[in-house]
Amino acid sequence: MVETKQDFMTLIEKIEEQSWYKKPIGFGLARVDRGQLTPEKILQATYPVVNWNENFGSAAVFLHALRQTGTELDTSKSELVCDISEAFVDQCSEIFKPFLMQAVGDDHRNVQVTAVLSSLKEHNELKCEDYKMVFIFEDDKPQSVESVYLKLYALSTGKAKLRSLNLDGAFGQLHNCAWSNGKPIELDWLRTHEVTLKLCGNYPEITMVDKFPRFLSHVIPADNTRILETSKVRFGAQLAAGTTVMPGASYINFNAGTEGAVMVEGRISSSAIVGAGSDVGGGASILGVLSGTDGIPVSIGENTLLGANSCTGTAIGDSCVIDAGVTILPGTKITLSEKAVAAIAEANPGKEITPLMRGKDFLGVNGVHFRQNSTNGQIIAMRSTREVKLNDELH
């Protein structure tokens, strides 16, 4: 019996010593939406609490409770997705008892999960088939809808860094669904019931058809973050506090986002990252690895302005400006005056700055203003009027 926190700690140590035990990278209990026609198909997994390189005590409890209540645990694979049972819920409640009273707000969120399940059980409302216990042991290709969602949660909650997780094959794991009021519906279910639904006036309002849900369906942003339209941010994107996403031409794809307060009025393609204090102007396009870049994910520095309808296919440094309507691709030839070469070189000690450079040559170059000369059409680079902080360690 676990009566005290000390009992709890002792038990955790004992669990962690066992040969079958393996420390997970991430874990959580998910509520799952199943296919209306094919219930074995998981359409969505919603995690009230996401654990990522943390809360290993809770992980041990969940694994132990599964094992104690009859689940055969195979911790040798990269991930583990388990059904839950009433006995599992009881077992977890038993072990978490010493923490129950403090499990409010941000504290002991996994205990809160157990408490809610317990309460549902008491009211005879616990449907165990609605839940899955999910563990990721190695950052391998995801093998299930549940692990894809857990990784996307890790990215969108900021617990994992953008581009840091293996998402190979994630698209293949997810099912394309119609979504209505935040819930996924199998397209075949719609087809089967189309005649009746339409004739009776009950056809659902479909907000989208996609494999991914939206960021705001799963994640609560920081108090000073604004997303003016939910469709503009896909689940799996990451928005640092203070980021604003406007509803015009903007879009932030999964595994892409911002590292500080950024004004986003344009597109941040999958794998692209924008630094703090920067501004992605209306209709500006940061290309993804699949189109127009040279295959290297694009990073935009801090305090940089991408003008309206500009297009960027290569990395841009800090304190840069790309004028409205200007396109900088990796191969774009950019002309620099003698003065510009000197000024940009001064702001970028150690970088080679020459009178004719390609877009891709500006990797790590700060304080550049990219323009098109309106009298002769030439794409030019000048020193921007934005201050560049030199890295003291380099000098």
CB of 247 to its own copies, least distance (A): 4
Least separation in angstroms between residue 308's CB and its own copies is: 4
| 331 annotated to bind ligand | yes
Q: How far apart are CA 128 and CA 55, in angstroms?
A: 24
Through-space distance between the first and last CA atoms of the chain, rounded to whole angstroms = 62
d(CA 369, CA 371): 6
Q: Which amino acid is at 116?
A: V
Nearer residue to its own copies within complex by CB, 15 or 265: 265
Report whether 391 belongs to an annotated binding site: no
Q: Is 163 left (phi over 0), alpha (psi -120 to 50) or beta?
A: left
CB 89 within 8 A of CB 118: yes
Q: State in angstroms the smallest separation of the CB of 330 from its own copies.
A: 11
Cβ-count burial 38-73 (b if 16+ within 10 Å, e if not): eeebbbbbbbebbbbeebebbbbbbbbbbbebebee
Active site amino acids: 265
- Least distance in Å: CB of 318 to its own copies? 18
Q: Which is nearer to its own copies, 9 or 209 (CB)?
A: 209
Partner residues linked to 356 by β-bridges: 335
Residue number, 15 or 357, with CB nearest to its own copies: 357
Query: Is 214 assigned to a binding site?
Result: no
Nearer to its own copies, 37 or 345 (CB): 37
Least Å distance, CB 201 to its own copies, is 6
User: Hey, is 83 helix, strand or coil?
Assistant: strand
How many Cα atoms within 13 Å fall on the side-chain side of residue 118?
A: 16
Least distance (Å) between residue 327 CB and its own copies: 4
Beta strand residue intervals within 228-293, DSSP E: 244-245, 251-252, 257-258, 263-264, 267-268, 273-274, 279-280, 285-286
- Cα separation, 384 vs 317, whole angstroms: 11
Angstrom distances, CA of residue 395 to CA of 341, 365, 391, 392: 20, 16, 7, 6
Closer CB to its own copies, 15 or 147, in the complex: 147
Specify the residue, 205 or 338, whose C-beta has the smaller distance to its own copies.
Answer: 205
56 CA to centre of own chain: 22
Angle between helices 109-122 and 56-68 (to 10 degrees): 30
In the annotated binding site for succinyl-CoA, the residues are 267, 282, 285, 308, 323-324, 331, 371-374
